[in-house]
Amino acid sequence: MNDLAGKHIVLGLTGGIACYKAAELCRALIKEGATVQVVMTEAAAQFITPVTMQALSNRPVYGSQWDAREPNNMAHINLSREADAILIAPCSADFMSKLLHGGADELLSLMCLARPIDTVPLLIAPAMNREMWAHPATQRNLMQLAADGATILGVGSGFQACGETGDGRMLEPDELLADVIAFFQPKLLAGKQVLVTAGPTFEAIDPVRGITNRSSGKMGFAIARAAHEAGAQVTLVAGPVALATPRGVQRIDVQSAIDMLQACVEQAPAANIFVATAAVADWRPAQASDQKIKKDGSGQTPTLAFVENPDILANVAQSGRAQAGDLFCVGFAAESHDLLAHATAKRARKGVPLLVGNIGPATFGKDDNALLLVDADGTQELPHASKLHLARQLVSEIARRLPNAP
């Protein structure tokens, strides 16, 4: 995907050991389609050379407000007028304090001060020792910078270059990349709470065996990510899958359909939107054995009896809030054939306003898919694309259908 195609990012580096991560970040931004102009403070150049950043960004690096390469000698104006965003990564404690006070004694701070505040957003990725991070002065500066309109991307936690362990590390390049991509997505679900189920369920037969299915969880995880990017608070109830939690998403891991139902019943009262993508097992063994079922040498096979699992989506869709229109429910249908007929029937059976059909065997485990949206007004195809792209489209289709949508 080229999620940053057409975006021009000014990447500002200030003095801190996390400058080594800025090299990787620069590459990642470019790989996602952005153009990147690097601006470094003198202190940053102590940690990583402008040559490295020039080679990675494929552009000369700026470091001085007296740069004679600019015909008008106004690098601070020219650089900031071209930018779709200025990202300071790493942003030192000292540089935060300088930004806060409107300091402008070198190019990077001068450029931040000179930026058109309404059209060129400022994103800050702090990086410092844990004591510096926890200091009231730093926390006060952060709050004021946010109040002045900057977007603070947060910090990581863990082992620090100084040998101490705690909060204050710069976020990893892939985390910052996800945050920058999210920043540019339209905030269609701002203020909304979204609950998503994803993946298969695992129905135990005994402590070592069980029944599951081929759902990878990728579509549900993509929807959770897209909803977060759109400004929602997202809770993802995930069956057993090996996928990384999308940034900013709260994840609840479950195994069985019963566990998934319980988590959803607990979370649904706070949600405005429920998207059920999980491939919930329709049946579970009537009795899971406490001990491993052993062969007894007779050649006799065990007989398994099943009971039907509760329908999580139908349960949530029948709640008072869903019926009153306060919780918008979206179902998925994984079919092998006759998609339209099955999806239409399933929408009615589940009692949901929107049902999303897809051909299960064609999409399980893949990174792409094609969707068929069925609602009271008819059908709409979302043609073959990556699951993340489809998830973003679906989020905008959901936003459009919410009560009080513009």
The residues of the shown chain that bind ligand CTP, judged by CB under 6 A, are 197, 257, 276-278, 280, 282, 309, 311-313, 331-334, 346, 350
- Cα 49 to Cα 31: distance, rounded to the nearest angstrom: 21
Side-chain half-sphere CA neighbours of 142 within 13 A: 20
Toward ligand CTP, which CB reaches closer, 227 or 313? Answer: 313
Q: Where are the beta strands (DSSP E) in 199-346?
A: 203-206, 209-211, 233-238, 250-253, 273-276, 283-285, 306-308, 328-335
Helix axes 19-31, 50-57, angle to 10 degrees: 10
CB of 391 vs ligand CTP, minimal distance in Å: 15
Q: To the nearest whole angstrom, how small is the minimum distance from the Cβ of residue 311 to ligand CTP?
A: 4
- Judge whether 65 and 214 are in contact, CB under 8 Å: no
Question: Which has the closest alpha carbon to 292: 397, 206, 187, 194?
Answer: 206
Nearer to ligand CTP, 32 or 259 (CB): 259
CB of 308 to ligand CTP, least distance (A): 8
CB-nearer residue toward ligand CTP: 269 or 302: 269
Q: Is 162 marked active-site?
A: yes
Cα–Cα nearest to 249, from 264, 230, 268, 263 = 230
**Active site residue: 19, 26, 112, 162, which one?**
162
| Coil, strand or helix at 219 | helix
Residue 210, strand partner residues:
204
Nearer to ligand CTP, 62 or 328 (CB): 328
The CB-of-261 to ligand CTP minimum distance in angstroms stands at 8
Residues designated catalytic: 162
